[in-house]
C-alpha cells in the first residue's frame, strides 16, 4: 500500500503557479469575448465568425455563465488557502457565501447555455452535462457539509468543484495544441481554424484530467485537504 505524503513546498508552489496560469487564461479569454461580442450586441450586428454567434445572439445566457464564473475563479484560490482562511476567517466566511452563489449561478447557466448552444456539437454538449452536473453536485455536497459543521468534508468537496471548474483554462490549452498541430500539418499554408469536433474533444480531455488531478491532490495532500 502506498504511503500518504504531505505536500512539499515545491509542490505547493507549482500548484499555485498552475492555478494562477489557468485563471489568467480564463480571464483573458473572457475579456476577449467582451471585446469581440459587445460591439455586435450593442449595435445588433452579426459577428464575423460562427463561434461568436451564440454569444452575440444569447448574451444573457452567455454572460450569466461567464461573469459569475470569472468572479468565482478569481476568489476560490483564496478560499482554499489555509493561510488566508486562518488569518481572515470572517472574510473567508462572507466571501464564501458570495463565491458559492456565483459558482451555482455560473454552473446552472453553463448547462442552459452549453447544452443547446454547444459549438462543439454532441461531444461538447455531453461533456457539459456530465461535468456541469458534477460541479453543481460538488457545490451542493460542500454546502450541506458546512451547514452540519463538517469542515473537512466541506473543504474536500470545494476542492473537487474548483478542480473541475479550472479545467476551462485547460480546454483553451488543448484547443491551442490542436490548432498548432493543424497548422504544422498544413505547413503554414493556411491559418489554423477552430474545429468543432476538436473543441468537443478538448472539453473531455480537460475535464477528465482535472477531475483526476483533483482526486490525486486530495489523496496526495490530506493535510491540506482537511
Question: Which range scores top for mean pLDDT: 42-51, 182-191, 215-224?
Answer: 42-51
Q: What is the pLDDT of residues 156-193, one digit of tens each?
A: 999 999 999 999 999 999 999 998 888 888 776 655 56
Say what percent of the chain tops pLDDT 90: 78
More confident residue, 5 or 27: 27
CB 41 within 8 A of CB 59: yes
Q: How many other C-beta atoms are found inside a 10 Å radius of the C-beta of residue 43?
A: 8
Residues belonging to the chain: 226
The closest of 107, 127, 136 to 202, measured between CA atoms, is: 127
Q: What is the pLDDT of residues 48-87, one digit of tens each?
A: 888 999 999 999 999 999 999 999 999 999 999 888 988 9
Q: Can you give the pLDDT at residue 175?
A: 94
Q: Can you give the pLDDT at residue 211?
A: 98
pLDDT at 7 over 70: no
Q: Can you give the pLDDT at residue 169?
A: 97
The closest of 69, 63, 65, 72 to 34, measured between CA atoms, is: 63
Q: Is 126 left (phi over 0), alpha (psi -120 to 50) or beta?
A: alpha
Residue ranges per structural domain of the chain: 9-225
Q: Can you give the pLDDT at residue 82?
A: 85
Q: Can you give the pLDDT at residue 4?
A: 44
Q: Can you give the pLDDT at residue 1?
A: 37
Say what percent of the chain tops pLDDT 70: 92
First to last CA, the chain: 21
Q: Can you give the pLDDT at residue 50?
A: 85
CB 154 within 8 A of CB 142: yes
Q: Can you give the pLDDT at residue 3?
A: 44
* Cα 25 to Cα 74: distance, rounded to the nearest angstrom: 12
pLDDT at 2 over 80: no
Mean pLDDT taken over the chain: 91
Q: Can you give the pLDDT at residue 190?
A: 57
Q: What's the whole-number mean pLDDT along residues 131-135?
A: 98
Amino acid at each position: 500500500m502506498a504511503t500518504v505524503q504531505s505536500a512539499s513546498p515545491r509542490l505547493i508552489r507549482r500548484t499555485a503557479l498552475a492555478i494562477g496560469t489557468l485563471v489568467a487564461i480564463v480571464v483573458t479569454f473572457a475579456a476577449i469575448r467582451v471585446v469581440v461580442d459587445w460591439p455586435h450586441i450593442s449595435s445588433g450586428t452579426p459577428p464575423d465568425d460562427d463561434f461568436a454567434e451564440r454569444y452575440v445572439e444569447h448574451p444573457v445566457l452567455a454572460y450569466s455563465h461567464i461573469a459569475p464564473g470569472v468572479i468565482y475563479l478569481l476568489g476560490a484560490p483564496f478560499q482554499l488557502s489555509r493561510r488566508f482562511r486562518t488569518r481572515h476567517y470572517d472574510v473567508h466566511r462572507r466571501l464564501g457565501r458570495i463565491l458559492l452563489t456565483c459558482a451555482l449561478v455560473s454552473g446552472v447557466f453553463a448547462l442552459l447555455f452549453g447544452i443547446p448552444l454547444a459549438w462543439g456539437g454532441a461531444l461538447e454538449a455531453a461533456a457539459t452535462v456530465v461535468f456541469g452536473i458534477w460541479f453543481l453536485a460538488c457545490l451542493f455536497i460542500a454546502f450541506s457539509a458546512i451547514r452540519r459543521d463538517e469542515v473537512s468534508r466541506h473543504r474536500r468537496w470545494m476542492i473537487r468543484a474548483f478542480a473541475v471548474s479550472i479545467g476551462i483554462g485547460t480546454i483553451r490549452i488543448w484547443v491551442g495544441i490542436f490548432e498548432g498541430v493543424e497548422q504544422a500539418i498544413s505547413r503554414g499554408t493556411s491559418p489554423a481554424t477552430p474545429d468543432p469536433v476538436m473543441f468537443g474533444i478538448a472539453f473531455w480531455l480537460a475535464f477528465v484530467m482535472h477531475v483526476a488531478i483533483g482526486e490525486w491532490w486530495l489523496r496526495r495532500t490530506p493535510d491540506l485537504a482537511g
